[in-house]
Structure 1
């Protein structure tokens, strides 16, 4: 396995891939048969990446400036070695790892990255590599074993049996020292779970479950306890590293063996004391140079000269396809050879079933919006390596919420229908249950869609509330449709509350034979409600004389259809309203899919 690690000046980033210096893979002027043979060689040459940095007042100061995060970075990662990328905060360590892990758009990144002298397809890289992020993104209500088993279901080959996957998980638990925490939930701020060090080891386990050929790690020791982090002074870790790349402001100031640091800086004019940590000395010196007027320019130029006279050559033993096939034959758990690599480890329906099993408990104890906002980053991590399809996730997400919506709808309907005394009997109750479920379904789908486009939880709540308030305002409840201004009437038809509201009114009043106001009931909502009934009857007789029609205490003044007409509810039947409400739910789920497809890509632009 090749490992690449990125580390800060006080800690670090690790990129788990065997890497080396920025030298050519082979030269025709030497006998390549005498060079050391490498099954895998990840090469990156002249990587350059810039971003636009906005200004606080762009109209007065211009549109912004360009900041170069990587500037001509080159190197190689060799099979079986650990390459550490060191540097101060902002030096470009994480950006370099993102570039090597194909997490920067090709149009934005200049330079070339090859594996065994071949440009690697994205689907192949996803199958043979893994990326351990700086922050632990795990489901808090799953146990350690469940978390690793879920990763095994998606990352291990589909031809591997369930028992073998479980055996692999148990072996990994022992390797990571998690045996005592096997049945402990991960936990979060509101639920006590594993320790920070155990959580970090679980994150690493999730990504190495399939024994990747290349492993990228960003700040792998962050969150570990002192024992797991080798007591961190950094010199204890230095002995584990095979090669180093030290960055300063996006440029390389050293590439090579850790043992050559003393010689390198001695020739540069700064001798490292024998008892001092070499990497700490180097990083402190670089920090001092960065604060000087000339910066690290002289050190960067010295590194180029150093590399030209200390370059190392290696010989590739085979093509990429052959190398992967050999790795699989030796026990690697990646899917298969490059020609046969499936994009996903499981079939479509099995993906849905596994995701449903894994997420049911998570949804049972939390609200939709915070769950989905938290889960989106886990989704981005899992789909970055084709753990499952976006469509499988969207469908399973919808199926997971259905049981809760059905139970909530039944409870709400049972209480309100009989407590309020709504009409319709048992058939009316069943329709009322259907429309309540449809409204909950469309509302849940709306919030799900918004969670796919809203970046933060604190921003999500006010946006959701504002949208629902606008839907309620234009639903026809506060303002009849006929009184809504013409330039706002379009919003009336977009309101997801309009259709269940009209459906309930249809269910209650859509009866042409039932009368809701007779005779003296005409005075119930007027100041005359308190006068004697005999006087009300005489007033009705007076109305009869004036209007020329007979009006008695049994005359019907208002039927259900009249109430619906007064509310402006005449265009749609109650079944139309039901189907439209359900359709809104499916429409928002489709929008959610596209929000994940285009808005949740784990790549820099």
Structure 2
């Protein structure tokens, strides 16, 4: 079942291929009435209407441009139409959205529509073909075979002129990829993989020059015409050639409609109102200037003109005809053809979605050096530094404090450097936000995949770091001691990365997430038992933070690993035969040795509790991840 082909193939191919195969549930029209959005004004504290009674309709195969000056409400309207607008206690939304004249449920609407956001939320380390492949895996039902998926992807690549770039990376800050215009085409193509009937585009030409803008919108128009897709796009001052690709224009200003009709009729309509368009003028720029009052020197005259435009449209025959069409019998007659049958489409198997996300994350992780490559290099540098600073420490009492310092440094700074994971996680989070809004999967699949994909890399980092730092530092020189150190360090990194996931999910802004994570790790360093021994730690910090500090259990575990069964030579006193001076009192003092357990006693640590503290750490990791899941679940996008 090939969805997209080249123009020649479409003309020659069978009528039942691609979108034509889905005509049993064709969407003939998408309409909206009385869309009103009210918020509370910050200054006056009075209700302020962002949109006021907006209505419109788009037919199959048509493209509608939403235009207006900044603050006109076009993005708000697009989000309302696409079921993307979230209400808050200070805002209210009134709307009546219909498919073929009948309201559709959110679930069925999502299966009929796709939304392309203004920012290209794509995985930069994937190729163009891989991007479409994973879009198909996450969106298409299991009933569609592998060959059919390949056929859809191949058709999309051909239709959007991406065949020659199919094996090119999307592009990362470090590795150059496809151009901006090609990225926009990939974004649109990835949303068309499911053969949607309604396509929403938020500023699809943002950041593109006029040539690239025309190129992107021409591809979209061709798809809309050939496969009867309804396209609604918010767009800001397109070029004349790009503007003429649209069938209809809805012009907004201050939340009200100034024009809603054919693009070809713009010039005559406004001329009839006394606003003649000069020759060789971009009609898009002309209409925007008519309704834009922000830069007018005479605000009173500009407001009068805008009021004239609003009232003229509201009382025009075209507006009356539109209102009649919104309630036409044809709309209701075909409702059962669309809103009932299309809601029964299957979706991707929810049990396989985490595996797909893991697969995609795995490709990203080994291609994108920002995700783990740079972190591995950082940790290796830290291991070499630590191993050479604490180089081959002899087991003498003069080095006991040095061993303790090294243990603190190894655990605390390893966890602190987990902040390097924030950029990669925020990129994953932005993609999750887009895909969740499109109804592909929820926070459970995302959090599960994120946790699983991180385990092997964190273990690799732990092993590489430990091989260098542990043996150079001459810690407890036994296999058991080494692998116990690895265990604690791995749990330390697992908890640190889980903390990053929680805080970055809570505050998905790089600088703020970085500051919050650094502050949290600084707090854990202060109360983990190294700076101030647990027994003398202030009651508040001890009972509120120390016992939930994952670094505290890592420090305790590493201390027990080093000092639990190791002895240290005391300082020999010159001139006194058999005399020595031991800094710690222990049962081995007469042998001129310091028993490691005496060092643990100073901190109030005991041996034999390894299993319990490992359990505490696992609980902390679990709680961080669950809290991260709760944040993502409660955040409505």
TM-score range relative to shorter protein = 0.7 to 0.9
C-alpha contact 1:70 1:250 (8 A) present in aligned 2: yes
Aligned equivalent of 2:86: 105
Q: What are the equivalent positions in structure 2 for 1:156-555 lying under 5 Å apart?
A: 156-230=140-214, 234-273=239-278, 276-287=281-292, 291=296, 292-293=299-300, 294-295=303-304, 296-306=306-316, 307-311=318-322, 313=325, 314=328, 315-316=330-331, 318-323=333-338, 337-338=342-343, 340-342=344-346, 344-348=347-351, 350-364=352-366, 365-366=369-370, 367-423=420-476, 425-489=478-542, 490-511=544-565, 515-516=567-568, 521=570, 524=571, 531-534=574-577, 536=579, 554-555=590-591
Residues 163/318 of structure 1: CA separation in 2 closer, same or farther (3 Å cut)? farther
Distance 2:175 2:588 in 1: 69
Aligned equivalent of 1:4: none
Q: What are the equivalent positions in structure 2 for 1:48-127 lying under 5 Å apart?
A: 48-52=36-40, 54=42, 66-105=47-86, 108-127=92-111
Displacement of 1:51 in angstroms is 3.0
C-alpha contact 1:85 1:247 (8 A) present in aligned 2: yes
Residues 309/137 of structure 1: CA separation in 2 closer, same or farther (3 Å cut)? closer
Distance 1:289 1:532 in 2: 93
Aligned equivalent of 1:577: 613
C-alpha contact 2:112 2:196 (8 A) present in aligned 1: yes
C-alpha contact 1:506 1:564 (8 A) present in aligned 2: yes
C-alpha contact 1:50 1:66 (8 A) present in aligned 2: yes
Residues 552/500 of structure 1: CA separation in 2 closer, same or farther (3 Å cut)? closer
Residues 227/289 of structure 1: CA separation in 2 closer, same or farther (3 Å cut)? closer
Aligned equivalent of 2:389: none
Displacement of 1:141 in angstroms is 0.7
Distance 2:622 2:27 in 1: 49
Displacement of 1:433 in angstroms is 1.8
The alignment status of 1:42 with 2:30, answered yes or no, reads yes
Moved more, 211-220 or 149-158: 149-158
- TM-score of the pair, normalised by structure 2: 0.76
Residues 461/308 of structure 1: CA separation in 2 closer, same or farther (3 Å cut)? closer
- TM-score of the pair, normalised by structure 1: 0.80
Distance 1:221 1:250 in 2: 22
C-alpha contact 2:99 2:339 (8 A) present in aligned 1: no
Distance 1:552 1:374 in 2: 56
Distance 1:516 1:124 in 2: 72
The alignment status of 1:595 with 2:631, answered yes or no, reads yes
Distance 1:208 1:459 in 2: 35
Distance 1:341 1:396 in 2: 26
Distance 1:245 1:402 in 2: 51
Displacement of 1:251 in angstroms is 1.0
Distance 2:256 2:588 in 1: 96
Residues 233/80 of structure 1: CA separation in 2 closer, same or farther (3 Å cut)? closer
Moved more, 292-301 or 96-105: 292-301
Q: What SS class does the counterpart of residue 52 from structure 2 fall into?
A: strand
Residues 598/117 of structure 1: CA separation in 2 closer, same or farther (3 Å cut)? same
Displacement of 1:130 in angstroms is 0.6
C-alpha contact 1:196 1:225 (8 A) present in aligned 2: no
Displacement of 1:491 in angstroms is 1.1
Moved more, 45-54 or 125-134: 45-54
The CA RMSD over aligned residues, in Å, is: 2.8
Displacement of 1:468 in angstroms is 0.7
| Structure number with larger C-alpha Rg | 1
Aligned equivalent of 2:410: none
1:274-314 per-position Cα deviation (integer Å, ceiling 9, x unaligned): 65443332222222698331341121111111045544535
Q: Structure 2: any 5+ residue segments left out of the alignment?
A: 1-25, 216-236, 371-419
